[in-house]
Structure 1
Amino acid sequence: MGRRSRAAWISGLCAASLMTSVPAYAVAGGTAAPGGAYTFAVKLDIGDGKRSCSGALVDKQWVLTAAGCFADDPKNPKVTEGAPKWKTTATVGRTDLTGTAGTVTDVTQVVPSAGRDVVMAQLAKPVSGVTPVAVASAPPAQGEELKVIGFGRTKTEWVPNKLHTASFSVDTVQDTAIGITGKDAAVCQGDTGGPALRESGGRVEVVAVNSTSWQGGCLGTDPAETRTGAVDARVDDLGAWVRQVRYRPVFAAAPWKKATHIASGYFTGGSAGGTRHMDMIVRWNDAEVTLYQGADDNDPRHPFAAEYQVAAPPKKGETSIWQHAMQITGASFGGGADGLVVRWSDGELTQYTHVDAKGVHGEKKLAKAKNTLWPHATQITAGRYTANQQRDDLLVTWDDGRVTLNPDLDTNGVDKAQKVLVNKNTTWPHATQISAGEFSGKKTMDLLVRWSDGEATLYPGVDTAGFHGESQLFKPKTDWNDATVLNAGAFVGNERMHDVLVRRENGPLSIYPALSPGGKPKEVKIVG
C-alpha cells in the first residue's frame, strides 16, 4: 500500500474504482468456500445483469449489503429509502450457483444507513433453512484478521459460480470505515457489499461490508496494478439500526386497532439526555402486553427499534391478570429505569417499579382490591408535577369531576398528601384520555387532555397548586375526533418538547413530533 497518508490512500482507491462500473468487488486469489459453510452469503443480481453484488443475510427477510449497489452513481452511494430503482434478485443459501439449494427471491425495498455505504435490503419473502449471520458489536482492531467472502471475479474467472473466501488484515480503523489488505488475494468486481467476517470460538459475525478496492490481480484489471487493499464500511456500531430496520414489518403488521392502552417511559434503561428515546408499552384487547424499545435516531416514522412480549395472551380456558387492566401509565420512581402504575377492574391499584423485556417487577400494592374509592377513577397519568423532584406524582380524574394529585407516589402512596386540583364538576368526566408531557418548557409537566367531543387541550406547568391556563390544540370534532388511544413521550427527541402518539379508531398509528402550545400540530403517519 505504500507510505501515503490515509486521505491520499482513500482518494487513490476512489480513482482506481473508476476503471469499473461498481466500486467494490470479489475475492481474487481466494479459495472456494467449503460446502455448507457461509450459507448466509447472498448473490444480488441488479437490473437483469446491470450489476452484480454480494451481501449477508442478517435476518430471515433482510440482507446487509452496500448502498453503492443500488445508487445511480456507485462512486457516490446515495440511495433513497424505498423500492430499488432496478429489479433486484437475491440468491440465498446457494454457495454453488450451479446447484438448486437455497432461495431465490426479489428485493422489495432498501433502507440506507446515513453517512456510510451500507443498506438493508428487504426480501419479498422470509428465507427458511438458513441461519442469518450475527452483526458484530465489538469494533475491529488494527492487525486483526478478517475473512472476506464474495461471488465476484477471481484471477481467472469473469463470472464464477462459487462463493470464494480469503483472509484480510485490518490496516486502519476509522469512525465509519476500515482499511484492509489481502494476504494472498484482492477484493474484485462483483463483491460490493460482501461481508468481512470475524471468526472466533466457533462464532461468525459481520464486522464490515466491502466498499472500494484497488483490485490488484483481479481479472480485467491493469496487470501493473498489484495493490490488494480495500476500504470496507463498518457495521459493528450499527447493531441497533439493523434491529430497528428488520423489525419494521412486524411493527407495521401489528393489529393496532386492538391496542387498548399505551404507556411510555424509559423502561429498558434509557434516560433523558441520552441517545435512545422512550419505550412504549401496549396492552392489546386479548390481554397480551408488548414492549417496544425506543430507537436511537430521530426518524419520526420509525421511533422504535425492537419488540418484546411482556405478557402472553391467555390460552384457551385460561385467564390473565392483564385482562382486568383498566388504566396503565408509565412512571418514574427514581431508580434509573421507569415502571408502571396499573388500575385494575376490581379497584386495586398496583405499582411496578421496573419493567423490561422479561416482564414487570417490584410489585407494590397502592390500593387494595374491592375498595370503595378507586373504582371511581376514570383516568390516571404519572408525571413530574413537583418541581426539582426525580420521582413522579400521580394525577387522577374521577367520575364525579374531581381532579386530584398524589405527590411523590413512591414515597407517599395514595393514602396521604393528596391534593385536590379541581372540585366536583360536570366538565372533567368528559376527559376521555389524559397524558403527562413536556410541551411548554415549564418547571413541571403539562397535562394533555383529549375530550369526548374530540377537542384536545394542553394545561401548561401543572403543579400542586393546580392548573395555570390552557391552550387548545384541536377544536371539537376535527383532527382528534377519532383519536381512541394517545400517549405523550420523548419518542423522537429527548428535549423538553415531547411527542404524542395517537392510535385512531380504525387502527392507524401516528406521531405528532415536538407538540407545543400555540403551534400547528404536524402529523406523521407510522402505520396506516
Structure 2
Amino acid sequence: MSGRHPRTAWITGLLTAVAAGVMPAAPAHAVVGEDAKDGTYAFTAKLDIGGKRSCSGALVDDQWVLTAASCFADDPGQGFKIAAGAPKLKTTVTVGRTNLTASTGAVVEGVELVPRTDRDAVMVRLAKPVTGVAPVALASTAPAQGEELRVAGYGRTRDTWVPDRLHTGTFTVDSTTGTTLGLSPKSPAEAAVCKGDTGGPALRVKDDRVELAGVNSLSWQGGCLGTDASETRRGAVDTRVDDLSDWMQQFTARDLLPKAKWANADLLATGYFTGGSAGGKRHMDLIVRWSDGSVTLYQGADHDNPKYPFSAEYKLAAAGSVWKHARTMSGGSFTGSGSDGLVVRWVDGELTEYTHVDAKGFHGEKTLRPAKSKPWESAKLVTVGRYTANALRDDLIVVWDSGKVSLYSDIDTNGVGKETELTKANSTWTHAEQISAGSFTGKGTNDLLVRWSDGEGTIYPGVDAAGFHGEIKIREPKSAWTKADLVTAGAFGANTVPNDIIVRWESGSLSLYPGVDKAGTHAEVKLVG
C-alpha cells in the first residue's frame, strides 16, 4: 500500500517523511497485502502526478477524488500544506480499474485542488464526470479503537515497483485523534502501506456496505520494496474523513445546478423529502418539474453555505411522462412521519396527494379530488403549509381564477376537508402569480409569500382560518420581480426561521435570498447564471 515514513510529529524518533514516488515498472507477482478481485473497490483511483509521483485516492463524487494533500506538496517531508487551484504538475487520474491493464473505468485529468488546512487531505476535481463507477460513501462516525478497516492502494509491493493491480489489506485501528487514525496490519500480517498508496482509501466494510473512513497519509513502510531491510515496523497513520461531509459537499455541489437548463423549469416544490426535518441537519429539498415533463429532486445539503444549498440530484420522472400535465405542485407533511409528500393539481382538475416522496420516486398516491371535479379546474395557485393547529397534517391555500382565496384544513387521504373562505372573489388576487408557504416571522402558523404580476412581493404573516393578519411588502411594484418566473420558499441554507426564498428568473438564472424577514430580502446569492 502507499505512503511515506511517518513525520516526527507522530511519534518521537520516527523517520522523516519522504515523497511518494514512481519507479521503473517490473512484473507483479507478490504484494504487501492482497490482490483485489476484478471490479472490487472500483472507486479507488490511481493518480499520476507529472510522471514523477504516484498516489492513490477514492472517487467520492462523479467529478471529485479525495486523496492526500501531501501527494502534491513540493516537499512532503515538510508537511502537507499546498495551494488551492490547478495542480503544478499535470495530474492524470485512473478510476474503475482494479487491473490497470484493463480498459474499464476512465482516465481523466485532475484540474483543480481544494486542500484542507488542518489535515493531510485534498479534493481533486476531474475535468469531466466519471460514469459507470459508483462513488464511495463517506463514513459518518469515527472509527473506534480495535475496529478493522480495509486499506487499498496501487503502491509498491514487497518486490514490485509499480504493480498493475489494486491491492488491499486489513488493518486494526490502534488510536484516534481529531484528524488522524493510527493503524497496524492484521491480515495478512505482513501488510504495509507503501509508496504509491498515499491517499488511498481506508474502508469500513460491513455486510454489503462500504464506507470511506480515512485516506493513507504516513507509514513506516516495513517490508516495502526500497525500504531498508532492517525496518520491520508496518504501522501507518491515516487521515480521518468521517467529519468532512459538510466541507466536501460545498465543492461536489458546485456543478450540480448548472447541469440543468433552468429556463426550462416551470414548477417548483420544496419539502423535507429525503430526511432532515425539524431537529435534523439536512436542509430542505427542491423538486423541479421541467417543461419536457421530466422531474428532478435536488437533495438539501448538510452544511450552512447558502451558495451550495443542494448536495445530490435524483431523476424522479423521465421526459414525456404524465408529469407534463401537472399544473401546480406543493410539498408538505400529511402523515406526521417527518417525511414530506406532494399535492399535485393536474390540468383536468384532479387533485392528487403523494404521502411520501424520496430519491426513488413518488409513494402513496391518493386521489383527493377526481378529474373534472368542481371547482378544482379553476384552481390557479395552490400551496401547502401549516395554517391550523394540527401538528400531524398540513393545510392547503388555494387562489382561484376568480380571485377568491380558500383554506382547506388538515389534508389527509380522505380528501381536502372543509373550505374556509379567506377572501371572496375579487380583482386583486387575480394578479397573484406565485404563492408559497414559508416561515419568515416566527408566528404560530405559516406565512404566505405572494409574487404579484406587477413585480410586488408580499408576505402575509401567520395566516390561519381567521384570515390574513397584516402584510409585509418585501418588493415594491415594478421591481425586478416582474421578471421572476418562479418563486418558492424554504429552509435551504439552515433549518431556521426566517426561511429563504429561491427565484427562477425568466432569463433562466437562479437566485437564493437567505433569511428573508420583515426587513425584506437580503443579499442575493447567485446559484445559476
Asked if TM exceeds 0.5, the reply is yes
Measured at CA, do residues 332 and 199 of structure 1 come closer, stay the same or move farther in structure 2, by a change above 3 Å? closer
Q: Give secondary structure in 2 for the equivalent of 1:481.
A: helix
Q: Which amino acid aligns with 1:342?
A: V
Aligned residue in 1 for 2:262: 256
**CA displacement 1:238-297 (0-9 Å, x = unmatched):** 679878865764543122211111111112333112111112211111112222222222
Find the partner of 2:289 among 283, 286, 290.
Answer: 283
Whole-Å separation in 1 of the counterparts to 2:36 and 2:364: 52
Residue 88 (str. 1) matches residue 86 (str. 2): no
Measured at CA, do residues 340 and 149 of structure 1 come closer, stay the same or move farther in structure 2, by a change above 3 Å? closer
Measured at CA, do residues 409 and 213 of structure 1 come closer, stay the same or move farther in structure 2, by a change above 3 Å? same
Written as runs of structure 1 = structure 2, the 5 A alignment for 1:127-276 is: 127=130, 140-152=143-155, 160=162, 162=164, 165-174=168-177, 177-182=180-185, 183-197=189-203, 206-215=212-221, 227-235=233-241, 249=255, 251-276=257-282
Whole-Å separation in 1 of the counterparts to 2:345 and 2:329: 6
Whole-Å separation in 1 of the counterparts to 2:287 and 2:97: 41
Measured at CA, do residues 116 and 283 of structure 1 come closer, stay the same or move farther in structure 2, by a change above 3 Å? farther
Q: Are the equivalent residues in 2 in contact too, given 1:509–1:526 (CA < 8 A)?
A: yes
Measured at CA, do residues 373 and 151 of structure 1 come closer, stay the same or move farther in structure 2, by a change above 3 Å? closer
Structure 1 residue 209 displacement after superposition:
0.9
Whole-Å separation in 2 of the counterparts to 1:107 and 1:15: 36
Whole-Å separation in 1 of the counterparts to 2:148 and 2:369: 61
Aligned residue in 2 for 1:396: 398
Aligned residue in 2 for 1:42: 45
Measured at CA, do residues 377 and 70 of structure 1 come closer, stay the same or move farther in structure 2, by a change above 3 Å? farther
Aligned residue in 2 for 1:444: 445
Q: Give secondary structure in 2 for the equivalent of 1:275.
A: coil
Measured at CA, do residues 474 and 125 of structure 1 come closer, stay the same or move farther in structure 2, by a change above 3 Å? same
Aligned residue in 1 for 2:518: 517
Q: Which amino acid aligns with 1:401?
A: G
Q: Are the equivalent residues in 1 in contact too, given 2:368–2:414 (CA < 8 A)?
A: no
Whole-Å separation in 1 of the counterparts to 2:328 and 2:474: 24
Q: Are the equivalent residues in 2 in contact too, given 1:245–1:305 (CA < 8 A)?
A: no
Aligned residue in 2 for 1:383: 385
Q: Are the equivalent residues in 2 in contact too, given 1:260–1:284 (CA < 8 A)?
A: yes
Q: Which amino acid aligns with 1:171?
A: D
Q: Are the equivalent residues in 1 in contact too, given 2:250–2:305 (CA < 8 A)?
A: no
Q: Among the aligned pairs, what percent are the same residue?
A: 57
| 422-431 vs 374-383, greater mean Cα deviation | 422-431
Written as runs of structure 1 = structure 2, the 5 A alignment for 1:491-510 is: 491-510=492-511
- In structure 2, the gaps of 5 or more residues are 1-6, 22-29
Structure 1 residue 327 displacement after superposition:
0.8
Q: Give the length in aligned residue pairs.
A: 509
Structure 1 residue 50 displacement after superposition:
6.4
Measured at CA, do residues 297 and 78 of structure 1 come closer, stay the same or move farther in structure 2, by a change above 3 Å? farther
Q: Are the equivalent residues in 1 in contact too, given 2:19–2:71 (CA < 8 A)?
A: no
Structure 1 residue 206 displacement after superposition:
4.1
Measured at CA, do residues 153 and 310 of structure 1 come closer, stay the same or move farther in structure 2, by a change above 3 Å? closer
Aligned residue in 2 for 1:12: 10
Structure 1 residue 87 displacement after superposition:
3.6
CA RMSD of aligned residues (A): 3.9
Q: Give secondary structure in 1 for the equivalent of 2:323.
A: helix
| 441-450 vs 420-429, greater mean Cα deviation | 420-429
Whole-Å separation in 2 of the counterparts to 1:104 and 1:60: 13
Whole-Å separation in 1 of the counterparts to 2:388 and 2:117: 40
Measured at CA, do residues 110 and 19 of structure 1 come closer, stay the same or move farther in structure 2, by a change above 3 Å? closer
Aligned residue in 2 for 1:125: 128
Whole-Å separation in 1 of the counterparts to 2:271 and 2:206: 38
Q: Are the equivalent residues in 1 in contact too, given 2:298–2:312 (CA < 8 A)?
A: yes
Structure 1 residue 467 displacement after superposition:
2.1
Q: Give secondary structure in 1 for the equivalent of 2:430.
A: helix
Q: Are the equivalent residues in 2 in contact too, given 1:145–1:170 (CA < 8 A)?
A: yes
Whole-Å separation in 1 of the counterparts to 2:374 and 2:90: 65
Measured at CA, do residues 309 and 224 of structure 1 come closer, stay the same or move farther in structure 2, by a change above 3 Å? same
Q: Give secondary structure in 2 for the equivalent of 1:506.
A: coil
Residue 307 (str. 1) matches residue 313 (str. 2): yes
Whole-Å separation in 1 of the counterparts to 2:260 and 2:291: 12
Written as runs of structure 1 = structure 2, the 5 A alignment for 1:35-114 is: 36=38, 40-46=43-49, 48=50, 51-58=53-60, 61-70=63-72, 77=80, 83-84=86-87, 86-92=89-95, 103-111=106-114
Aligned residue in 2 for 1:357: 359
Q: Give secondary structure in 2 for the equivalent of 1:514.
A: coil
Whole-Å separation in 1 of the counterparts to 2:471 and 2:484: 20
Measured at CA, do residues 419 and 95 of structure 1 come closer, stay the same or move farther in structure 2, by a change above 3 Å? closer
TM-score, normalised to structure 1's length? 0.81
Whole-Å separation in 1 of the counterparts to 2:217 and 2:84: 19
Q: Give secondary structure in 1 for the equivalent of 2:56.
A: strand
Q: Are the equivalent residues in 2 in contact too, given 1:54–1:193 (CA < 8 A)?
A: yes
| 457-466 vs 433-442, greater mean Cα deviation | 457-466
Q: Give secondary structure in 2 for the equivalent of 1:333.
A: coil
Aligned residue in 1 for 2:3: none
Whole-Å separation in 2 of the counterparts to 1:381 and 1:230: 56
Structure 1 residue 61 displacement after superposition:
4.0
**CA displacement 1:343-396 (0-9 Å, x = unmatched):** 111222222222223332333333332234222222111111224634212112
Whole-Å separation in 2 of the counterparts to 1:258 and 1:250: 16
Aligned residue in 1 for 2:330: 329
Whole-Å separation in 2 of the counterparts to 1:89 and 1:114: 24
**CA displacement 1:443-467 (0-9 Å, x = unmatched):** 2211111111222222222222222
Structure 1 residue 126 displacement after superposition:
4.4
Q: Give secondary structure in 1 for the equivalent of 2:481.
A: coil
Written as runs of structure 1 = structure 2, the 5 A alignment for 1:414-453 is: 414=416, 416=418, 418-453=419-454
Q: Which amino acid aligns with 1:328?
A: M
Aligned residue in 2 for 1:348: 350
Q: Give secondary structure in 2 for the equivalent of 1:277.
A: coil
Q: Are the equivalent residues in 2 in contact too, given 1:439–1:516 (CA < 8 A)?
A: yes
Q: Give secondary structure in 2 for the equivalent of 1:409.
A: coil
**CA displacement 1:293-330 (0-9 Å, x = unmatched):** 2222222222222322322233xxxxx43222111111
Q: Are the equivalent residues in 1 in contact too, given 2:491–2:500 (CA < 8 A)?
A: yes
Measured at CA, do residues 272 and 484 of structure 1 come closer, stay the same or move farther in structure 2, by a change above 3 Å? same
